[in-house]
């Protein structure tokens, strides 16, 4: 852009004034084009802009406040929150039912809350602390989730004299996954709540609506505690709006990724209350499609409590999520300050919101919302978004048509001829758009086919060569070939380049219309990309720059800075968030296709117009060769060197979940038909067990579960939760000779078998003594139905067998009593009627000596998540 004077062609625009005769169009093109280094500069300048502006702003965090800053009342002090976080981490893992979760963490939180209560402004606020013990059951993921004695810590902060009956709920959870100290998920949010409560209750700034702070004790366990609160707690019926706080990463900015539903005023609350913006409609739509393999309490509150609100989560550095490396050393104090500033602002704004006085009076509908580099926040109604999308797309088509007429007039050719040439260019740009998407996906497919998927997992910079460069090549190649081969002497070369950009604009306009018709609010991306194309087009049309060689490119490049910064920022955000998730996306999905598509999308939106400007250079072919060379070199590095190996110890680990399994099958007469032990693996990424074998782990005898899944109910295995059930046919079994040890065994006692009053139904009654994570699988025989049982009503008439009851307990380890009613068509009840499997997980122990020794053979890059489990199958 510094060579602006060089961009203006010496070629006059008047008819017939072409100062140099030529024998071919190629010579004129060579004369009219700018120096060769200009094309390379186009690519390098924008790469530099990304590195110096976009990435620093993406990772920007506020200056953390210390205890010394506490003299300024009413501010979040990150140092205090961090001190709480150290204590929280020191407790260790906090699996539901463990001493760490049910005793130590509860005691820690109650202690901190009582310290806060001792320092509240008593003349302004009332504070109540309630420890809830909850019991209940509900259906989610097609199974019954049943809980017993799980614990919630609930705090009610009420301004004195308040008459509002509509409360605000602020929620996070304190339990953890096995092996994880849960410092980021969700200790970061827990201590942020503590500090926000401390600040609000100790300063003399009152509010209108009561605030409920819920720190729940069973989120990782199928979201049970949020259900327990919203369905059973005495304060739940007044909770109308929730701020839900969760994590799928550690140590960065938190993303607001869900709002509503259908309450646009909440987006305005975020805009007013949040201090450090990070949010986009695209995140909401991606999360709600199920692409992200995570769930939050927000869904439970909305489904069972008719609650609306904001869903906010940590999302950066998801590599440590749910592993033993989720520790405080990856959470800078500034990240706590970022969360605290936002949460404090949101709670203060929402607790004084006039909209909360009468929720029925608020207008409904969805919202288009997004932050701009974390500096600004834009929002407007989805209805206005649709209008804007159509208006911008229509204006794009009109302005392109006007430009074509202008080119025809200045070139002294008919408009029909120019339109004919443009149709050809438009087809080529459609091909370019397809290639811009297809070439990165082809690379992704090829890498996966030869076993090199996830090569960017530990080295994200490889994405540039693997996916960005092929996309740029695909976008530029059709126009390059066309402009080299065509021999159009009537239209100046600069305007022929401009036709290519117009073609890309029309492709985007049509795509934007299609996405809008489909109903996706994410169409705003295309709309705003087009806005910053039609602005320079209007300016160029209103001046003579449109017709003066390459003069039109100056304004275009200046204004294209805006969409480049935003689009590259947004897509980079999703790449950062989703790349770690690719390590737990399962064996069946090629994650490179997802990441490749994201990179291609970002490239098209950020560089779709700019890459075509390489055609203004005499040696634009060198740029294409350079892109091809970088792609080839990166593919080599990814597939043939250690740089492309996906995993690194502590930072980019391979998750290896497996169970130490003993399974025992009892037949109808009580005899044992099978008693064997082994390790059940649930590999979570595309490379599966291959990296482990190469690292020296002895997996000799490892087999898939296909045959067992065909023969046995639930594959005859102690499957853990709904994720294990969904992936059961991809699990793998490694036998071992010696029996697996478990600290206890589930004891199933049949208490009775009784004919009911209807004379045709048999009731089986059972008592089950089990561990805190136990599943009950029930499979009636072909001619048997289960019309009723003691679990969730109507479940057996709605869902198909085998039936799955996922049972867990917290502080109350009482045996489970239940009954099952059985109906058989011929009423012969002296034969086998149904199978029952008891899957017991002992998640608080490491296992026996052999299992511990086996775990130690795994390489440092593998994060094993394993424990003993036993499965007992019965026939009744």
Q: Note the pLDDT tens digit of each residue in 473-495.
A: 999 999 999 999 988 888 999 99
351 within 8 A of 272, measured Cβ to Cβ = no
Write out the DSSP string of 523-547: GHHHHHHHHHHHHHHHHHHHSSGGG
pLDDT value for 823: 96
**Which segment of 49-58, 287-296, 695-704 scores lowest on mean pLDDT?**
287-296
Q: Are residues 130 and 223 in the same domain?
A: yes
Residue percentage of the chain with pLDDT more than 70: 96
Beta bridge partners of 666: 672
pLDDT value for 33: 64
32 within 8 A of 38, measured Cβ to Cβ = no
In-domain check, residue 522: yes
**Among the three residues 644, 669, 697, which one is the final residue of a domain in this structure?**
644
In-domain check, residue 274: yes
pLDDT value for 116: 98
Q: Are residues 318 and 420 in the same domain?
A: no
Residues 6+ apart with CB under 8 A from 198: 80, 116, 119
**Which segment of 37-46, 357-366, 492-501, 520-529 scores lowest on mean pLDDT?**
37-46
The stretches of 641-705 forming alpha helices (DSSP H) are 690-694
| 4: pLDDT strictly greater than 90 | no
The 10 Å Cβ neighbour count of residue 155 is 23
Average pLDDT of the segment spanning 644-672: 97
61 within 8 A of 332, measured Cβ to Cβ = yes
pLDDT value for 72: 78
Q: Alpha carbon of 172 to those of 91, 298, 323, 394, 439: distances in Å?
A: 18, 10, 19, 46, 43
The rounded mean pLDDT for the chain is 94
Beta bridge partners of 215: 153, 172
In-domain check, residue 675: yes
Q: Are residues 823 and 711 in the same domain?
A: yes
Q: Are residues 635 and 672 in the same domain?
A: no
Length of the chain: 876
Please state, in angstroms and rounded to a whole number, the distance separating the CA atoms of residues 346 and 278: 13
255 within 8 A of 569, measured Cβ to Cβ = no
802: preceding bond cis by omega (within 30 degrees): yes
Q: Alpha carbon of 614 to those of 30, 319, 529, 610, 617: distances in Å?
A: 13, 38, 20, 8, 6
561 within 8 A of 52, measured Cβ to Cβ = no
Please state, in angstroms and rounded to a whole number, the distance separating the CA atoms of residues 266 and 259: 7
User: pLDDT tens digit string along 746-799?
Assistant: 999 999 999 999 999 999 999 999 999 999 999 999 999 999 999 999 999 999
In-domain check, residue 377: no
Please state, in angstroms and rounded to a whole number, the distance separating the CA atoms of residues 558 and 225: 53
pLDDT value for 34: 64
Q: Are residues 867 and 817 in the same domain?
A: yes
The 10 Å Cβ neighbour count of residue 251 is 23
Helix or strand holding residue 751 (H, E): strand 747-755
Residues 6+ apart with CB under 8 A from 379: 264, 267, 268, 271, 367, 368, 369, 370
147 within 8 A of 774, measured Cβ to Cβ = no
User: pLDDT tens digit string along 720-751?
Assistant: 999 999 999 999 999 999 999 999 999 999 99
Long-range contacts of 822-827 (CB under 8 A, 24+ apart): 822/761, 822/762, 822/763, 822/764, 822/780, 822/784, 822/785, 822/786, 823/760, 823/761, 823/762, 823/784, 823/785, 823/786, 823/787, 824/762, 824/783, 824/784, 824/785, 825/783, 826/783, 827/760
| 204: pLDDT strictly greater than 70 | yes
Helix or strand or coil: residue 816?
Answer: strand
Residues 6+ apart with CB under 8 A from 33: 493, 616, 617, 618
pLDDT value for 24: 38
Cβ burial of 290 (10 Å; 0-12, 13-18, 19+) is exposed
pLDDT value for 70: 83
Q: Are residues 667 and 635 in the same domain?
A: no
In-domain check, residue 613: yes
CATH code of the domain in which 329 resides: 3.40.630.10
Please state, in angstroms and rounded to a whole number, the distance separating the CA atoms of residues 494 and 146: 69
Please state, in angstroms and rounded to a whole number, the distance separating the CA atoms of residues 5 and 9: 9
The stretches of 688-794 forming alpha helices (DSSP H) are 690-694, 706-711, 722-726
Q: DSSP code of 482?
A: H
In-domain check, residue 370: no
User: pLDDT tens digit string along 209-242?
Assistant: 999 999 999 999 999 999 999 999 999 999 999 9
Average pLDDT of the segment spanning 314-325: 96
In-domain check, residue 80: yes
pLDDT value for 845: 93
User: pLDDT tens digit string along 430-455?
Assistant: 999 999 999 999 999 999 999 999 99
User: pLDDT tens digit string along 574-611?
Assistant: 999 999 999 999 899 999 999 999 999 999 999 999 99
Q: Are residues 669 and 616 in the same domain?
A: no
Which residues span the domain enclosing 280? Answer: 76-92+106-134+151-356
Rg (CA), the chain: 31
How many domains does one find in the chain?
3
Q: Are residues 677 and 697 in the same domain?
A: yes
Q: Are residues 639 and 527 in the same domain?
A: yes
**Among the three residues 599, 623, 644, which one is the final residue of a domain in this structure?**
644
- Is pTM beyond 0.85? Reply is yes
Please state, in angstroms and rounded to a whole number, the distance separating the CA atoms of residues 58 and 64: 17
> What is the separation of C-alpha 168 from the centre of its chain, rounded to a whole number of angstroms?
26
List the one residue out of 524, 285, 522, 559 whose CA is nearest residue 393.
Answer: 524
Handedness of CA 566, 569, 572, 576 (dihedral sign): negative
Q: Are residues 118 and 168 in the same domain?
A: yes
Residue 210 zone, left/alpha/beta (φ > 0; ψ -120 to 50; rest)? beta
**Among the three residues 311, 338, 356, which one is the final residue of a domain in this structure?**
356
List the one residue out of 170, 142, 164 whose CA is nearest residue 244.
Answer: 170
266 within 8 A of 241, measured Cβ to Cβ = yes
Average pLDDT of the segment spanning 2-19: 37
Q: Are residues 540 and 686 in the same domain?
A: no
Average pLDDT of the segment spanning 335-364: 96
Q: Are residues 630 and 672 in the same domain?
A: no
């Amino acid at each position: 852009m510094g060579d602006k004077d060089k961009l203006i062609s010496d070629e006059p625009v008047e008819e017939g004034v072409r100062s140099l005769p030529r024998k071919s169009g190629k010579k004129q093109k060579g004369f009219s084009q700018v120096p060769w280094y200009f094309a390379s500069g186009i690519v390098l300048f924008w790469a530099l802009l990304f590195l110096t502006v976009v990435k620093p702003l993406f990772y920007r965090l506020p200056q953390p406040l210390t205890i010394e800053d506490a003299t300024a009342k009413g501010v979040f002090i990150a140092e205090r929150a961090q001190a709480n976080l150290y204590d929280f981490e020191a407790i260790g893992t906090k699996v539901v039912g463990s001493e760490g979760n049910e005793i130590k963490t509860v005691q820690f939180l109650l202690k901190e809350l009582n310290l806060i209560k001792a320092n509240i402004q008593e003349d302004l606020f009332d504070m109540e602390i309630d420890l809830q013990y909850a019991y209940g059951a509900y259906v989610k993921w097609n199974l019954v989730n049943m809980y017993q004695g799980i614990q919630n810590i609930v705090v009610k902060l009420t301004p004195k004299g308040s008459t509002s009956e509509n409360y605000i709920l602020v929620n996070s959870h304190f339990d953890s996954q096995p092996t994880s100290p849960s410092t980021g998920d969700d200790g970061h949010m827990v201590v942020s709540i503590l500090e926000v409560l401390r600040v609000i209750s100790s300063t003399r700034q009152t509010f209108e609506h009561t605030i409920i702070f819920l720190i729940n004790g069973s989120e990782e366990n199928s979201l049970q505690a949020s259900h327990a609160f919203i369905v059973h707690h005495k304060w739940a019926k007044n909770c109308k709006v929730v701020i839900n706080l969760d994590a799928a990463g550690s140590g960065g900015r938190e993303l607001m990724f869900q709002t509503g539903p259908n309450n646009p005023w909440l987006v305005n609350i975020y805009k007013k209350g949040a201090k450090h913006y990070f949010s986009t409609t695209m995140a909401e739509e991606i999360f709600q499609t199920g692409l992200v393999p995570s769930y939050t309490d927000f869904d439970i509150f909305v489904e069972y409590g008719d609650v609306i609100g904001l869903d906010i989560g940590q999302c950066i550095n998801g590599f440590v999520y749910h592993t033993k490396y989720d520790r405080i050393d990856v959470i800078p104090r500034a990240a706590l300050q970022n969360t605290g500033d936002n949460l404090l602002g949101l709670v203060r704004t929402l607790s004084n919101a006039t909209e909360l006085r009468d929720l029925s009076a608020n207008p409904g509908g969805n919202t288009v919302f997004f932050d701009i580099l974390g500096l600004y926040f834009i929002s407007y109604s989805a209805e206005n978004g649709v209008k804007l999308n159509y208006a911008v797309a229509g204006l794009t088509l009109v302005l392109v048509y006007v430009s074509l007429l202008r080119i025809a007039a200045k070139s002294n050719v008919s408009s029909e001829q120019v339109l004919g040439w443009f149709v050809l260019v438009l087809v080529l740009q459609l091909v370019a758009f397809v290639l811009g998407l297809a070439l990165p996906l082809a690379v992704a497919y090829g890498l996966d086919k030869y076993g090199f998927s996830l090569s960017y997992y530990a080295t994200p910079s490889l994405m540039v060569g693997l996916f960005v460069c092929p996309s740029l090549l695909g976008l530029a190649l059709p126009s390059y070939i066309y402009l080299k081969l065509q021999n159009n002497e009537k239209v100046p070369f600069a305007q022929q380049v401009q036709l290519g950009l117009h073609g890309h604009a029309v492709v985007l306009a049509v795509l934007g219309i299609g996405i809008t018709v489909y109903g996706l609010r994410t169409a705003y991306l295309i709309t705003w990309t087009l806005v910053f194309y039609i602005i320079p087009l209007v300016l160029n049309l209103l001046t003579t720059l449109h017709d003066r060689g390459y003069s039109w490119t100056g304004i275009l490049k200046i204004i294209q800075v805006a969409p480049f910064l935003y689009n590259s920022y947004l897509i980079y955000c999703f790449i950062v968030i989703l790349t770690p998730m690719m390590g737990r996306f399962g064996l069946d999905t090629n994650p490179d296709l997802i990441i490749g598509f994201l990179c291609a999308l970002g490239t098209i939106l950020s560089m779709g117009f700019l890459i075509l400007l390489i055609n203004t250079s005499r040696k634009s072919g060198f740029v294409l060769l350079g892109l091809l060379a970088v792609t080839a070199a990166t593919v080599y590095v990814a597939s043939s060197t250690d740089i492309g190996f996906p995993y690194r110890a502590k930072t980019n680990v391979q998750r290896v979940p497996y169970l130490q399994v003993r399974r025992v099958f009892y037949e109808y007469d009580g005899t044992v038909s099978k008693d064997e032990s082994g390790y059940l693996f649930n590999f979570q990424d595309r490379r599966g067990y291959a990296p482990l074998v190469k690292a020296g782990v002895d997996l000799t005898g490892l087999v898939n579960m296909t045959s067992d899944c065909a023969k046995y109910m639930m594959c005859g295995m102690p499957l853990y939760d709904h994720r294990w059930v969904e992936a059961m046919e991809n699990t793998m079994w490694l036998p071992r000779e010696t029996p697996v040890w478990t600290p206890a065994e589930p004891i199933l006692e049949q208490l009775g078998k009784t004919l009911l009053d209807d004379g045709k139904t048999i009731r089986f009654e059972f008592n089950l003594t089990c561990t805190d994570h136990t599943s009950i699988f029930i499979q009636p025989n072909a001619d048997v139905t289960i019309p009723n049982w003691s679990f969730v009503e109507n479940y057996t008439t709605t869902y198909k067998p085998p039936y799955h009851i996922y049972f867990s307990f917290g502080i109350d380890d009482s045996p489970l009593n239940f009954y099952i009613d059985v109906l058989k068509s011929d009423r012969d009840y002296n034969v086998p009627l149904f199978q029952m499997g008891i899957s017991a997980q002992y998640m608080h122990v490491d296992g026996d000596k052999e299992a511990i020794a086996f775990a130690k053979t795994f390489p440092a890059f593998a994060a094993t998540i394993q424990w003993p489990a036993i499965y007992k199958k019965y026939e009744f």
